Amino acid sequence: MTLASMARKYEPRIAPATRTATSAMIASLAAEGYDTVQAPFGHALIEAARSDERILGLTADLSKYTDLHVFAKALPERFYQMGMAEQLLMSAAAGLAREGFRPFATTYAVFAARRAYDFIAMAIAEENLPVSIVAALPGLTTGYGPSHQAFEDLAIFRGLPNMTIIDPCDASDIAGMVPAMLTHDGPVYARLLRGKVPSVLTRHKPDYCFQLGKAQTIREGKDALVVATGIMTMRALDAAVKLSADKIDIAVLHVPTIKPLDAEAILAEVQDGTRLVVTAENHSLNGGLSEAIAKELLLAGKAPQFRMIGLPDEFLEAGALPTLHDMYGLSVDKVAEQIKGWL
């Protein structure tokens, strides 16, 4: 923050005509017309744990806010409340994995990526231990300001060898990623949507099923290709529907696994490079999906018209999520507007 912007705190305010409420951390993401599923992560973990004795749930005082509370209630003997101690959370998960268990450690994405990083890097990733780190409040999904907005977690974990990274779009991705994580012999960092989580992908593609490491085309379109991850796939799909009214035809490729990146599917969709390619991510434009894709395009000798939707390289504002998503270009309207402007 610059000194000039710091001066804002000395400017008195008056209440606006329309009330806006800061989006609480416990809130579900607005479903925006989609059906929702309650706590898909917690329920998927319970289901998996019933047939796999190795599964344990651990949290650092955030079971309610990571949907692990339903697991704790159903299987109390398999749940560890580790207290407000993220370094311990990750170290202890590593120790349990060493003893043959499959721990799922939950916290907020900011605390996993920032506070516990060294412990994830050395105790878990360096040893390639099968610990699943499940982190709520990814990117800009809370209005609490930078302390809780994990706008750089993908960049941080992309730099970490052995780490698989998942950014799910909806309830089906979350339900699908839990069993997929268990088939993977190594650490996984998964972003989490909690509470009432919308069912988006099967609405647009009825036979959609999450596959670890695979990008999937959800919608075909000839004018532009949006390569999106996480909730931005939902925004891209909604923007595509909106733009179709203007006879603009948008394809959407969903990339729920950020690392390893399904370069093959991405390059196949980019085809000869004549369509505009837009990346869309709920993350800083530094070090996330867009840079990963740009690298693959260059290495493959492809140079389509290339644009990026994502968060700016700055500490973000506090406030109501709809306001913030408009401000930073993540809302459906702004996504549609940006794509239209680039065509």
Provide the binding-site residues for other proteins, judged by CB under 8 A: 80, 82-83, 85, 87-88, 90-101, 103, 118-119, 121-123, 126-127
Distance of CA 339 to the CA centre of its chain: 21
| Cβ nearer to other proteins, comparing 28 with 128 | 128
Q: Which is nearer to other proteins, 133 or 236 (by Cβ)?
A: 133
> Residue 134's closest CA among 67, 223, 76?
67
If the CB atoms of residues 88 and 155 are measured against other proteins, the closer one turns out to be 88
Closest separation between CB of residue 65 and other proteins, Å? 20
Tokens 């709920």, residue located: 282
CB of residue 99 vs other proteins: minimum separation in angstroms? 3
- What's the CA gap between 108 and 87, in Å, rounded? 13
Q: In whole angstroms, how close is the CB of 289 to other proteins at the nearest point?
A: 29
Q: Which residues pair with 55 in a beta bridge?
A: 102
For other proteins, the closer of residues 87 and 202 by Cβ is 87
Q: Nearest to residue 119, comparing CAs of 53, 34, 207, 189?
A: 189
**Looking at the DSSP assignment, which residues form a beta bridge with residue 254?**
216, 228
The separation between the first and the last C-alpha atoms of the chain, rounded to the nearest angstrom, is: 33
Q: How many whole angstroms separate alpha carbon 185 and alpha carbon 181?
A: 8
Q: How far is the CB of 29 from other proteins (least distance, A)?
A: 31
Which of 127, 249 has the CB closer to other proteins? 127
- Measured distance CA(168)–CA(165) in Å, rounded: 10
Nearer to other proteins, 102 or 275 (CB): 102
Q: Which is nearer to other proteins, 126 or 326 (CB)?
A: 126
| Pairing mode of beta strands 216-219, 250-254 | antiparallel
Least distance to other proteins from the beta carbon of 97, Å?
A: 8
Closest CB 213 distance from other proteins, rounded Å: 24
Strand partners, 280: 228, 309
Measured CA to CA, the distance from residue 240 to residue 249 in angstroms comes to 7
* Dihedral angle of Cα 144, 148, 150, 152, to the nearest 10 degrees: 100
- Residue position matching structure tokens 């099923």: 209
> In the bound complex, what is the minimum distance in angstroms from residue 227's beta carbon to other proteins?
36
Please state the φ and ψ torsions of residue 27, each to the nearest 5 degrees: -70, 150
The pair of structure tokens assigned to 145 is 């300001």
Rounded Cα distance between 232 and 141, Å, is: 11
**φ, ψ at 6 (rounded to 5°):** -60, -30
- Looking at the annotation, which residues are catalytic? 86
